Amino acid sequence: MKSIPEIISSLPYKKPFLFVDELLELNEEQCSGTYTIKEDEYFFEGHFPGQPIVPGVIITEIMAQIGLVCFGIYLEDTDVPILPAFTNANIDFITKVKPGDRLIIVSKKIYFRFRKLKCQITCRLEDDTLVATGECSGMLINREDIGKA
């Protein structure tokens, strides 16, 4: 299995769209990690000036990067570079997220078969306040296969 540093370095994202600070736990059944919302995140320029709140789509992306992509790279355990294809999300949002908040993501595997991963994912603030919860799924695709017919 890949180590945590190997998984983070193999992520296909770059700043300002990389939303993984650290991975706390990885095993065959679950994954957890964190991301701290920076004061100067690009999306705060328009959401909402003077009262910045993290958009739900960004919270969903944070949940997917940690709970699907990192987890999928770990479970796939291959040296072939892969890209995630996010296929579905059903997320309930409970409370708002502001600059400076540290999010803790926990993902529990529902299934992983035929390179498709489905998970129950929760997002909480550091004080254990529930931010969002739901199911997400995605597929792993070899990078060299992108663009092939």
At 17 the three-state DSSP class reads coil
Going by pLDDT thresholds of 50, 70 and 90, the confidence category of residue 78 is: confident
Predicted pLDDT of residue 80: 80
Domain total of the chain: 1
The 10s digit of each residue's pLDDT in 44-77 is 999 988 999 999 999 999 999 999 999 999 998 8
Going across the sheet that includes 30-36, the strands are 22-26, 30-36, 102-113, 116-125, 130-142, 82-93
Give the residue numbers annotated as catalytic, written as ranges. 47
Q: Could you list the residue range(s) of the whole structural domain that residue 114 is in?
A: 4-145
Can you give the CATH number for the domain in which 39 is found? 3.10.129.10
pTM attached to this predicted model: 0.94
Predicted pLDDT of residue 121: 98
Q: Which amino acid, 133? A: T
